[in-house]
Amino acid sequence: MKFVLISNIFPPHVRGGYELGCEVIARRLVALGHQVTVLTSAAVGQLDRAVVRPGLEVRPAFEPIFEYEELLDARTAENSLWRRRRQEAFGGVLVPNVLALAACLDEIRPDVVWCFNPLGLGPVGILETALARPVKCIVHLMDNIDGTIIEHQQSVAFEGRYRRLKSHISAISCSRKTLLANERLGQYRSHRVIHNGVSFDEIPCESSRPRATNDLCRFVYFGQVSAPKGVLQLIRAAARLRIDDPAARFSVDIIGRGDPMYEAELEREISIHRLQGILTLKGFVDHGSLLAQLAGYDAAVMLLSSDEPFGYAPIEAAGAGLPVVMTSSPGSAECFPETYPLFVSDRNRESEVAAKMRWCCSNLPALREAGLSLRAHLRECCDLDRVTMPSYLRVVRACPSSTAKFNTQGLLSSYMTARLYSQIA
């Protein structure tokens, strides 16, 4: 089959696991013999960069998403024309992107349009342009798309149109919480949960490593270094652990890149709590090298926020045979055993997080067995090749081609009319 994948950002431009997950799916489709073209935005360079690997056709067909580039000063962000563009980009229609997508679809003539993240591209325009053609149209939800579109309706008023579009689209959500969040603006034609997958066979995992109770317990966090990921709470929990158990021997490596101001705040926190030599900000490590390093640690700490739709990092850490101290609220927690003992109910309670880390330090010889048990459990629902990709392809096969009465010219005509009325008002 011919696939067109749409992602607002795509490697080499990366914000987090979303873009890397999209790339993995694209490459798996190619490996299975399908023809794949990825359409993405012409990002302008401030985003983290990943290594570009050959083997995929990637077209920067859409306008740059400047909101993700951190190029705006306060005056620009308050400009009325810029606010209007933001409303259109995240809740309505961007005319250049509609025309670009229409031209690409007419050229490629795909069987399937698989839309990962249309935010910033003019989501209503992107989806309606796809539905105007006799293709299978699938939306892959790894974020709260409905919430963002609702937030950006002040000047575009496309909520009703978006509701109608959804009834013609098949949807995949990466977690139950993501599914529920994306049923606020009407229902999709079909909607099912398929948890994000990782390739367990590609993550190095040591089946055994002799560890003594008094050895150093090596903790790791990896991913985006930002407030929603709970990095500051991890530092404070490490400080609390030193107070509660001065004899505990442990280290914490934080791997990833963040906003310079946030990283400076973390450095100050490390200094205040005198954690130098115990807690280290390692900076960015490319994904392949990172996975190769994980088996050298004893446990991971992932204090992700309740707004996290899924979170690949806890699954990847478990794939390396690490037990994971994590919050019970992100979408990926749905995949863990129901009575998982290292769940944290409130990441802001330093004593609770420190107690879980202390348990790891005290039970170091048993951690590898606990990690391998978790790995075996997660393979049953998150193994990319054995579970996730077959489930995706079942959705693709079951999805009918669009027969919706939409057309690109009608979309642009109604958009220009709506914009004229809003200017008059």
H or E segment and range at residue 6: strand 2-7
| Distance (Å, whole) CA 333 – CA 317 | 13
Domain identity same for 144 and 265 = no
Residues 343 and 412 in one domain: no
Residue of 2, 29, 4 lying closest to 102 (CA atoms): 4
| CATH, residue 164 | 3.40.50.2000
DSSP 277-315: TTEEEEE---HHHHHHHHTTSSEEEE---TT-S--HHHH
Bridge partner list, 59: 39
138 plus 260 within the same structural domain: no
Both 317 and 406 in one domain: the answer is no
Q: List the pLDDT tens digit at each of the 425 positions of the chain.
A: 999 999 999 988 877 778 888 999 999 999 999 999 999 998 766 666 666 778 899 999 999 887 665 555 555 666 777 888 888 999 999 999 999 999 999 999 999 999 999 999 999 999 999 999 999 999 999 999 999 999 988 777 788 889 999 999 999 999 999 999 999 889 999 999 999 999 999 999 987 777 877 899 999 999 989 999 999 999 999 999 999 999 999 999 999 988 888 999 999 999 999 999 999 999 989 888 999 999 999 999 999 999 899 999 999 999 999 999 999 999 999 999 989 999 999 999 999 999 999 999 999 999 999 999 999 999 999 999 999 999 999 999 999 999 888 777 766 766 665 565 455 44
* Whether residue 16 sits in one domain with residue 47: yes
Q: Does residue 408 share a domain with residue 355?
A: no
Q: Do 54 and 21 contact (CB within 8 A), yes or no?
A: no
Helices (H), 326-388: 350-362, 364-382
Same domain, 172 and 191: yes
Pair 295, 352: CB distance under 8 Å: no
Please report the DSSP string for 38-66 in residue order. EEEE---S-SEE----SS-EEEEEE---G
Do 182 and 73 fall into the same domain? Answer: yes
Q: Are residues 162 and 292 in the same domain?
A: no
What total of structural domains would you count in the chain? 2
Residues 170 and 74 in one domain: yes
Give the structural domain span for 417.
Answer: 2-197+387-424
Please name the helix (run of DSSP H) or strand (run of DSSP E) that holds residue 204, with its range, or none. Answer: none
Report how far Cα 282 is from the mean position of its chain's Cα atoms.
22
Q: What's the CA gap between 126 and 95, in Å, rounded?
A: 10
